[in-house]
């Protein structure tokens, strides 16, 4: 049995239960929004199925990583908050908010250099040991 090792998680196929999936998604989102160096491919499948994202829908791992860099550019001094997460079977639904100083155009809104809060809901669908498909 293969295990994928993360900084603070060990993922084994037998452990893929809803609560474990929820913890995995939350860890991924917190690290990605904090711009921590993570191995994105150990969390997300090689061909992410993303749709409904603001600005563009990432189609590759590189584009998905670029999406987080884009959000970091738009929201200076950002605060990421998971407001609610629900896990059932192979799916995790996360409602989150991102708040920061609005430095660049976002969703058609010209940079205001004031505080902007963005809220969204994402559905992560587990498709193997530690990879997820994402719907926004």
The pLDDT, as a whole number, for residue 51 is 76
Q: What CATH number is associated with residue 14?
A: 3.10.450.50
Q: What is the domain extent for residue 95?
A: 4-135
Mean pLDDT of 33-59: 75
Residue 86: CB partners within 8 Å, gap ≥ 6? Answer: 22, 92, 93
**Residue owning tokens 């994928």:** 4
The structural domain count of the chain equals 1
The pLDDT, as a whole number, for residue 97 is 93
Residue 103: CB partners within 8 Å, gap ≥ 6? Answer: 73, 74, 75, 76, 111, 113
Greater pLDDT, 46 or 7: 46
pLDDT at 85 over 60: yes
């Amino acid at each position: 049995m293969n295990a994928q090792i993360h900084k603070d998680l060990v993922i084994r196929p037998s452990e893929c239960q809803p609560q474990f999936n929820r913890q995995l998604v939350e860890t991924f989102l917190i690290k990605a929004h904090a711009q921590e160096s993570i191995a994105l491919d150990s969390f997300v499948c090689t061909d992410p199925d993303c749709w409904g994202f603001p600005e563009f829908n990432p189609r590759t791992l590189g584009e998905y990583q670029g999406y987080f860099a884009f959000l970091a550019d738009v929201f200076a001094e950002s605060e990421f908050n998971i407001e609610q997460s629900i896990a059932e079977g192979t799916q995790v639904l996360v409602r989150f908010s991102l708040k920061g100083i609005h430095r660049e155009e976002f969703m058609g809104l010209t940079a205001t250099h004031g505080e902007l809060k963005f809220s969204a809901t994402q559905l992560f669908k587990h498709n193997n040991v530690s990879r997820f498909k994402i719907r926004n």
